[in-house]
Amino acid sequence: METKKGDEAVREALDYAFNVVSHNLESRKLELKFEEIGVVSFVGKGIARIRGLPHVRSEEVVLFPGDRLGIAFNLDPEEVAVLLLDKSEKVRAGQVVHRTGKVMEVPVGEELLGRVVDVVGRPLDEGEPIATSERRSIERVAPAIMDRSPVNVPLETGVMAVDAMVPIGRGQRELILGDRQTGKTAVAIDAIINQRDKDVVCVYSSIGQEKSEVAKTIADLRKNDAMENSVAVVASGDDPPGLNYIAPYSATTIAEYFVDKGQDVLIVYDDLTRHARSYRELSLLLRRPPGREAFPGDIFYIHSRLLERATNLKDGGSLTALPIIETQAQDISAYIPTNLISITDGQIYLSPQLYGKGILPAVDVGMSVSRVGGKSQLPAYSKLAGDLRLTYSTFEDLEAYTRFGTRLDEDTRKTLERGQRIREVLKQPQFEPIPAPEQIAVLWAVTAGLLDTVPLGDVPGAKEAIRKALRERLPEISSRIGSGEKLGSQDRDLLLATFKDALAA
């Protein structure tokens, strides 16, 4: 009897042990995971070729050893060509590469405001790590036509020559182009600085510039209190060409987060010349067929799909784009400039001749145009803009003609004198944006002839006197101009009388 009881106890203990083991095996059952891997077969400047990865998708992120990233770009039958997003020194042939199953994404959110980040969203300003709750793909389809609204609200740059004669509206794409060292970035930075108190978020995308230039630009933005509502997305000239290629797309995705929340956003691409060169370099390394000037055939599509994302949404905010392009020897008929001129809604051309004469900003009024911005201008501007542009263009033609020493009649002389004074009031130091009401006040005074008798050397002082008179004596009219009200004849008479008194004082 005792033996039977002992056998039963052992059997029960064994059954219990086997049940526990079976339960644990079932609860911790290992599942086989399918994973594609490839092997690096070639490494070049900014690219790598990989054998394997038969199901990888276009623009999918792949992972190299050391958590280095790349983007699948060419999907050939025998191999995959990848753009490297990190330094290629430690990437070697024979290394294993893994798929991630995701396209390239970038963190977005309010946490990015005031920060300087790289193209992937990593901080470059020695600040705290950035933790955002959302990530978005850098490639997004542009809004449909039916989701867009006409451009009808001005985006004031604070630059008188631009706001008066080449106006920009919120949701517009306005190209800034000119030769090297003509002040293209300066105009764009002034536009960003002027948004610091206008509830407009700004994104500055630096593409392929020297790190010292980028540091100076960001320091200028901080000094002028413009970084609080701005994000700087930086890909320097030392970075791999793949980072320079995706830089503007990452910056646009960051900007679109705020647009979708109903905010107005200004984005500056500085500059798309370097972007095009980076893409050309990558395309030639990837053995894509070269076309005109060795640029690949899809270079127009590369820029158009980027700039088409700028718009004024019906149910949302607006994204205003200021792409910058560098010309060579004033050749605006070159391949990339003509491509971008046809994509954008106008251009601001900066002349090296005006820059050399010290006429800053060096906006060439005759070669600059805004195709849609005029409809968004403040009503007080619209009364001035047509006459101002005509008077200034006539003056420039006459000035060129009179260099030959021609004798002048009285009307021609007066036109020249007024044109010279218009040019003087349009001169403006950098980092000193002028509010729209004060711009209009100065332009009313000069077009009405109040400055015709003022010596050219005294015009800057007269300009400041007019601005001060508007601020201190006519604050009500100033606020009405800024709110978009039309001015009657009595208002204009009061303005001119006040300015006469200010100039006579």
Catalytically annotated residues: 371
What does DSSP assign to residue 129?
A: P
Pairing between β-strand 60-64 and β-strand 369-370 as defined by DSSP bridges:
unpaired
Terminus-to-terminus CA distance in the chain, angstroms?
128
- Evaluate whether 14 touches 210 at the Cβ level (below 8 Å): no
The whole-angstrom separation of Cα 54 and Cα 56 is 6
* Spatial separation of the C-alpha atoms in residues 485 and 230, rounded to whole Å: 30
The pair of three-digit structure tokens given for residue 315, joined into one six-digit string: 């149910």
- Burial code (b: 16+ CB inside 10 Å, e: under 16) for 370-394 equals bebbbebbbebbebbbeebbebbee
Tokens, residue 470: 């508007």
**Distance between CA atoms of 3 and 153, rounded to whole angstroms?**
98
What is the Cα–Cα distance from 332 to 392, expressed in whole angstroms? 22
Structure tokens, 193: 């600085």
Length of the chain (residues) = 505
Q: Are 495 and 477 in contact (CB under 8 A)?
A: yes
Burial status of residue 230 (CB atoms within 10 A of its CB: 0-12, 13-18, 19 or more): buried
